Amino acid sequence: MTDVIIPALGESITEATVGQWLKNPGDKVAADEPIVSLETDKVAVEVPSPVAGVMGEQLFKVGDTVAVGAMIARIDGGEGGAVTAPTPAVVKEAAPAAAASAPAKTAAPAEPTSHIDDTPPTKPVPEVGNAVPAAPAPDAIAPAVRKLLGDYNLEPASITGTGLDGRLTKGDVLAAIEAGTAKVIGAPAAAAPAPAAAERREERVRMTRLRQTIARRLKEAQDTAAMLTTFNDVDMTAVMAARARYKDLFEKKHGVRLGFMSFFAKAVVLALRDVPAVNAAIEGDEIVYRDYADLGIAASSPGGLVVPVLRNADKLSFAETEKAIGDFGKRAQAGKLAIADLQGGTFTITNGGVFGSLMSTPILNTPQSGVLGMHRIEERPVVRDGQIVARPMMYLALSYDHRLVDGREAVTFLVRVKEAIEDPARLLLDM
């Protein structure tokens, strides 16, 4: 028997929650094959098997808290002795823990929460008429995915799973909903009576570690910083014209699409140079000023909002910036961001406009002192040279820590961003 030990999960991370067992007792396991998904404060990490063999005893249940260095399972067939699993490099979406509460750090073996059939897959049978493919077994679907399917009353068999052994992930369900390919189970009766009061139900679902961390950090930001938000608007005409003119040539040369985020990242870098307080942080009774810009770019993931860090953004070209941001977005949706991708950062940019937000007051990503909120672009009447014209306008919001950043500095920062976006030549001339 070989012991599987929880490896180091990243700086300052000492424990995690068992999110999902990927192998059941008796299942064959290859060396380095993931056997369990752990939820940390930032992302979910898959722990691989250190040896090939057969999955043996599972020492923790879904929802249990496990410490780094603890033994979590045993593999039968490998060489004896305790073996620490390799440091995990693959990150999956965080699956919420089971709703039923369980004592943390218990050492009692648990019944498996999912089932993987070892029998060879049968050849798929083509659909005939209105036949629907057999749905995955209920115990093969993670609790978070099952809840999402239930919320939308969807048929699991109508959605293609991309997870381990074809399992459905939250990303698969959300993508099917957006594409309109997911099938709704049954159809409501035309004259169905209103549900009686006795039929009303509630469901309690334990928060994932990621959601708990998001909630805690956002509240800490409100409790710690003297947070204030100032607004401005920006005319997107020049940037949109530049993008339309060069996007095809840019993509042909660099292999990546030219978006708006690289313009804003460059504009923020210029503004941070002019107003260094926005790029600084308070540590105790000292102010730490930086001569570099590590930009956190907020991205949506199936498990919640994550903020991967674009390091040394002040030294990156437009193409390098676009490639890095595009890579962050893809890996965030696939649940493959590494913990190192989310650490650090001196300033954050968040774009609520992709979801249709017109205006918002973003919350600081402490200990940072500033966060820029972008919003949707819409045509609005503005006055140019004494004439009322329609222009593509965007509201910008800068939330900042008033303990460190004065109102004059905050307004100056936003004006610098506005000037650079309305006259993109400033980005090339470093003005």
Instruction: Check if CATH label 2.40.50.100 holds for domain 2-92.
Output: yes
Contact 373, 362 (CB under 8 A): yes
* DSSP character at residue 149: H
Beta strand pairing call for 347-351 and 295-297: parallel
What is the model's pLDDT at position 361? 94
Write out the CATH class of domain 121-188.
Answer: few secondary structures
59, two tokens: 């020492």
d(C-alpha 314, C-alpha 279), whole Å: 12
**Can you tell me whether residue 6 is helix, strand or coil?**
coil
Q: Which helix (H) or strand (E) holds 66?
A: strand 65-67
| β partners of residue 67 | 15
* DSSP character at residue 265: H
What is the model's pLDDT at position 19? 82
What does pTM read for this prediction? 0.60
Which CATH code for domain 210-429? 3.30.559.10
d(C-alpha 197, C-alpha 180), whole Å: 32
What is the model's pLDDT at position 370? 96
Q: Examine residue 136 and say whether the peptide bond preceding it is cis (omega within 30 degrees of 0).
A: no
Q: Please list the active-site residues.
A: 402, 406
What is the model's pLDDT at position 418? 97
d(C-alpha 39, C-alpha 16), whole Å: 5
188, two tokens: 């409501």
120, two tokens: 């060879």
What is the model's pLDDT at position 252? 93
**Annotated domain spans of the chain:** 2-92, 121-188, 210-429
pLDDT (tens, 9 = 90+) of the chain, 431 residues, equals 888 888 887 666 788 888 888 888 988 989 888 888 888 766 778 888 888 889 888 888 888 888 888 888 988 875 544 555 554 544 444 433 333 334 444 444 444 443 434 444 444 444 444 444 445 555 567 777 777 787 778 888 888 887 767 778 877 788 787 777 878 876 454 455 555 557 898 888 888 777 787 788 888 888 889 999 999 999 999 999 999 999 999 999 999 999 999 999 999 999 999 999 999 999 999 999 999 999 999 888 777 788 999 999 999 999 999 999 999 988 888 878 888 888 889 999 999 998 899 999 999 988 999 999 999 999 999 999 999 999 999 999 999 999 999 999 999 999 999 999 999 988 888 76
Contact 392, 222 (CB under 8 A): no
Residue 66 Cα distances to 60, 100, 177, 413, angstroms = 8, 17, 34, 45
228 exposure class (CB count in 10 Å sphere: 0-12, 13-18, 19+): middle
What is the model's pLDDT at position 253? 94
